Amino acid sequence: MIEDYSSLLKTRLSEVLRTTNAHLSALKDLRILTIEDFYYYFPKSYRDERDMVSISQLSLDQVNVVQGTLAKLLSRRTKTNKIMTSAWLGDDTGAIEVLWFNQPHIQRLFRNGDEVILTGKIKYNGGRIYFPSPKYEIVRQKQLHSARLVPCYHEHGPITSKWIREKINPILKGTAFLPDPLPEKIIENEHLMSYGKAIRTVHDPHNEEELKQAKERLAFDELFQLHLIALKRRQEFRNKFKNTERVVTVSPENSREFILALPFELTGAQKKVIEELTVDLGLPYPMSRLIQGDVGSGKTVVAAFALYHVIKSGFQGALMAPTEILVRQHYHTLLEFLGRYHFNIQMLTGSLVNSVKRDILRQIASGTVDIVVGTQAIIQENVSFKKLGLAVIDEQHRFGVRQRELLQKQGSPHVLNLSATPIPRTLAMVLYGDQDVSILDELPPGRQEIITRLVPEEKRVDAERWIADQINKGRQIFIICPLIDESDVLGVKAVTVEYERLSTEVFREFTIGLLHGKLATDEKEHIMSKFKNGEINILVSTSVVEVGIDVPNATIMLIEGAERFGLSQLHQFRGRVGRGAHQSYCFLFTNYKNEVSLKRLKAMCEYASGFRLAEIDLASRGPGEIYGVRQSGIPDLKMASWADGVLLQRVHRAAYRYVAELGIRKITKGA
């Protein structure tokens, strides 16, 4: 009997299990050292063997579970010198012959008269019906391996499912004494099964309903812990960067003026995010918010709203984008929204002559520049803002970790990240830690649908002819190629091969540009601007073309080897077209024939929302594969799933309430 149950979990299995060194060493491979590790080695699936049949009911086409008495147990050698053990299994309704091939231990294990449960298919061969090599278990008080929902585990060497069931069952009693890690109130409010019962149930479920509750409980715990960590990180960030000097006044009059002057009506989603920003800007610590929204959802105007109030309150603003082309694009968009207020808005790019650059830097330092639009160069050491109130960062994943440090040097301004990579909100929260997340999940009215089609190899020629026709009508086209092999990290080989093929065979009469990761930045920009200006008909590229470039005349996005990309990435590519007046198309070329694999790609044809696609992507691939586990720090989940939006929402709310009740200030509206 173990007295101290708090130490129960930490008890080493080598002290409590009677087993061999080979088993212990295999357990070690699986990182199962303590009782807790063992409890947490959850089954991967369950076999439903609850329906037993009598011998007269045995059926040829399914797995049968049948209980009976063994008789005439006999082993002999076959002509090929193998051992065959035979017996008869009988019950009130009849008897059937059982044959085990090459399992000499059967003869030692059983005696005539033993009550056993056999599981397997029966066979009809040469005029007789028999049971070939069924699974077996002696009838005991409690069946472990048959006649129940049988848990099946990932097996490793001598650690078989059967072995685990034998070993774990006796120590499951201890679960009754496990302290529950969740606060009682949450367990009550959320109607959760107790912790100990949940652990016991996943290894020994009575029925599906109970199993479902147990899994839900353990998934809840797993996600709850992650949310607590994220909330704590956020709190620490806030305490560290208290900043009463950066409080921006968002006056309702100014807001109204800004909104009324816009050339369009804001979408509902934009209005909601603007409300969230209004709260953030007035708080005594730097805002750290991520706005996620599909391409074209109108993130820039929302950022302009924040910049506008920041300037009105006497601060400066910065808007950063990953490339010069995007910087120029943003600059013009900002002028569209803010031009009428006569703010001093400057562009700071690498291509400026030094004297101009020096002059702008001086103006930034003296405070005469209100807004600087530039690449990340604008927060480098040699730039010093007089009073930076807000930094807007477009496509933040392109910036390094040093970005926050640099911003700190500029007096810890508010930070607004814009991203067109949709990640479900709750996942984003765990992923991005100290950031609040806003979502623009609504496109402005009147956006055209991009017609998306899967193109099998046999339709290639037709498709290429159609595309040539479109180019002759003046349209432009993107062609994206995946990496062909591991060694081709930058995809140079893949695009080069395709570029050759297209320019010598298929599209000889057109001008084709080539873009890949090995080109220098200014070369890349040069090709992009030629494409933008219409000097190039076709741009063949690796995935480097991903970020928000705007080429209204490009109407076709053709993706080779589409099955090699994730849905979120495909969706990003697709967002590069459909920006002008012409109907746009996305063609996914694939050699895949397999229905299951095609299903994922078909979702692209069906859904236009990046968030919907991100969820589907998550359900089929998991976040590690999509976002890269290392890079993102997303932990592997044992029980929960990132695709379970409903549970994630519940956990999210519970964690917020819990933290709020602990006395930590509730920070975000609507949480």
Nearest to ligand ADP of 13, 290 (CB atom): 290
Residue 293 lies near ligand ADP (rule: CB under 6 A): yes
Q: How far is the CB of 350 from Mg ion (least distance, A)?
A: 21
**Sign of the torsion formed by the C-alpha atoms of 135, 141, 147 and 151:** negative
Residue 548 lies near Mg ion (rule: CB under 5 A): yes
Q: How far is the CB of 633 from Mg ion (least distance, A)?
A: 26
**Residue 590: both structure tokens together:** 């694939």
Residue 300 lies near ligand ADP (rule: CB under 6 A): yes
The residue nearest Mg ion at its CB is 548
The site that binds Mg ion (CB under 5 A) totals a number of residues, namely 1
**Residue 488: both structure tokens together:** 């081709």
With CB cut-offs between 5 and 8 Å by kind, which of Mg ion, ligand ADP, none does residue 661 bind? none
Nearest to ligand ADP of 119, 270 (CB atom): 270
Among 90, 282, 296, 635, binds ligand ADP (CB under 6 A): 296
The site that binds ligand ADP (CB under 6 A) totals a number of residues, namely 16
With CB cut-offs between 5 and 8 Å by kind, which of Mg ion, ligand ADP, none does residue 584 bind? none
Cα–Cα dist 207/348, whole Å = 66
Residue 492 lies near ligand ADP (rule: CB under 6 A): no
Cα–Cα dist 37/32, whole Å = 5
Nearest to ligand ADP of 431, 439 (CB atom): 439
Cα–Cα dist 256/279, whole Å = 16
Which residues partner with 194 through β-bridges?
A: none
Q: How far is the CB of 276 from ligand ADP (least distance, A)?
A: 16
Residue 292 lies near ligand ADP (rule: CB under 6 A): no
Residue 298 lies near Mg ion (rule: CB under 5 A): no
Q: Calculate ∠ Cα 566-570-574, nearest 5°.
A: 170
Stretch that binds ligand ADP, among 211-219, 294-302, 362-370, 461-469 (CB under 6 A): 294-302
Q: How far is the CB of 327 from ligand ADP (least distance, A)?
A: 13
Helix axes 645-661, 208-240, angle to 10 degrees: 50
Residue 301 lies near ligand ADP (rule: CB under 6 A): yes
Residue 11 lies near ligand ADP (rule: CB under 6 A): no
Cα–Cα dist 430/452, whole Å = 32
Cα Rg of the chain, angstroms: 32
With CB cut-offs between 5 and 8 Å by kind, which of Mg ion, ligand ADP, none does residue 301 bind? ligand ADP
Asked if 167 contacts 155 with a C-beta cutoff of 8 angstroms, the reply is: no
CA distances from 51 to 55, 57, 58, 117 (A): 13, 12, 12, 12
Among 295, 307, 540, 614, binds ligand ADP (CB under 6 A): 295
Nearest to ligand ADP of 415, 439 (CB atom): 439
The residue nearest ligand ADP at its CB is 298
Q: How far is the CB of 263 from ligand ADP (least distance, A)?
A: 7
Strand ranges, E, within 294-441:
316-320, 345-348, 371-374, 388-394, 414-419, 436-440
Please give the helix or strand (H or E) that residue 656 lies within, else none: helix 645-661
Query: Measuring CA to CA, which residue among 669, 476, 467, 481 is closest to residue 562?
Result: 481
Cα–Cα dist 137/148, whole Å = 12
Q: How far is the CB of 547 from Mg ion (least distance, A)?
A: 9
Residue with tokens 């010198």: 81
Asked if 313 contacts 245 with a C-beta cutoff of 8 angstroms, the reply is: no
Query: Measuring CA to CA, which residue among 450, 456, 452, 451 is closest to residue 589?
Result: 456
Residue 297 lies near ligand ADP (rule: CB under 6 A): yes
Judged by CB under 6 A, the chain residues 237 through 276 that form the site for ligand ADP are 264-267, 270
With CB cut-offs between 5 and 8 Å by kind, which of Mg ion, ligand ADP, none does residue 267 bind? ligand ADP
Judged by CB under 6 A, the chain residues 543 through 572 that form the site for ligand ADP are 548
Cα–Cα dist 318/301, whole Å = 14
Helix axes 521-532, 324-338, angle to 10 degrees: 50
Question: Per-residue string for binding with ligand ADP, 78-107, x by CB under 6 A?
Answer: ------------------------------
With CB cut-offs between 5 and 8 Å by kind, which of ligand ADP, Mg ion, none does residue 297 bind? ligand ADP
Q: Which residues in this chain contact ligand ADP in the complex, by CB under 6 A?
A: 264-267, 270, 293, 295-301, 420, 444, 548
Binding site for Mg ion (CB under 5 A): 548
